[in-house]
Amino acid sequence: MTGPATGPAPAAGRSVAVLLAAGAGTRLGRGPKALLPHRGRPLVEHVARVLADGGCDDVVVVLGADAARVATAADRLTGTAGVRVVVNERWATGMGSSLQAGVAAALQPDDGSPVARVVVAHVDQPGVTPGDVARLLAAHRPGRVTASLWADAPASDQAGPEQGRPRWSHPLVLDAALAGPAAASAEGDAGARAFLRAHAALIDVVTHPGDGRDLDTEADLDLLA
């Protein structure tokens, strides 16, 4: 991994976000995280609006668990220009299948306009701001991956070359030509991790303030305040 890229200007074409919101929230035990209230709206609506306000031209929201209820809660989104909802019927197999469904939809916009980059985001990161998304898009360069590095995130505790290094995380931006292969490689809950590790030389990182925490346990509920 390297620092933020310098070189060619961002490629022309649309920036399409894939918002992964299909999980059942089993670990937290409060139902789908997409439905948790945050600042007066369902979390799925909040994060989708953050992506749009950060510069994404379109947002593909991937639903799964309790999809009908989540879709109803997100009705205000479906009427918004550039927002599409897709349902992953295989959501229970893990995040990988949701990534595949979302990327497939992202790369086939309704109007046929060219897609230059795909932003992958998780619904359980309410701390992400429009500024974080804009920073990633501004730094992204053709043919590469731009990942988030959270300034206050804990260092990796995994054995190997990454041990002790800060963890890169989501949201991340994939060149459109890489998004398809990355999604195709996704398995279970590991997502595209194997693809990204195999192509580490293509990854640039952008540092954001904060810790980028996921909303996983009761201890993380302060993120909804």
Torsion of CA 15, 123, 86, 138, to 10 degrees: 0
> Sign of dihedral through CA atoms 49, 55, 57, 63?
negative
* Predicted local distance difference test score (pLDDT) of residue 3: 47
What whole-number distance in Å separates Cα of residue 54 and Cα of residue 139?
A: 13
Q: How far apart are CA 204 and CA 148, in angstroms?
A: 9
Residue 168 has which token pair? 């890169």
Residue among 131, 154, 145, 140 at smallest CA distance from 178: 145
Contact status, residue 70 vs residue 64, Cβ threshold 8 Å? no
The pLDDT of residue 164 is 43
In sequence order, which residues have a C-beta less than 8 Å from that of residue 198 and are 6 or more positions away? none
Query: Do residues 15 and 142 lie in contact, with contact meaning Cβ atoms separated by under 8 Å?
Result: no
Q: Does the predicted model carry a pTM greater than 0.85?
A: yes
Q: Domain for residue 213, yes or no?
A: yes
Residue 105 lies in a domain: yes
Kindly state whether residue 30 falls inside one of the protein's structural domains: yes
Domain that holds residue 168: 15-224
CB crowding 84-122: b at 16 or more within 10 Å, else e: bbbbbeebeebbbbbbbbbbbbbbebeeeeebbbbbbbb
Domain membership flag for residue 8: no
Asked if residue 24 is part of any domain, the answer here is yes
Domain of 172: which CATH number?
A: 3.90.550.10
Domain annotation covers residue 38: yes
Q: How many domains does the chain have?
A: 1
Over the chain (225 residues), what is each successive 10-residue block's mean pLDDT?
A: 48 90 81 88 91 95 91 66 88 94 94 93 95 97 96 62 61 97 92 91 94 86 84
| Inside any domain, residue 6 | no
Has residue 3 been placed in a domain?
Answer: no
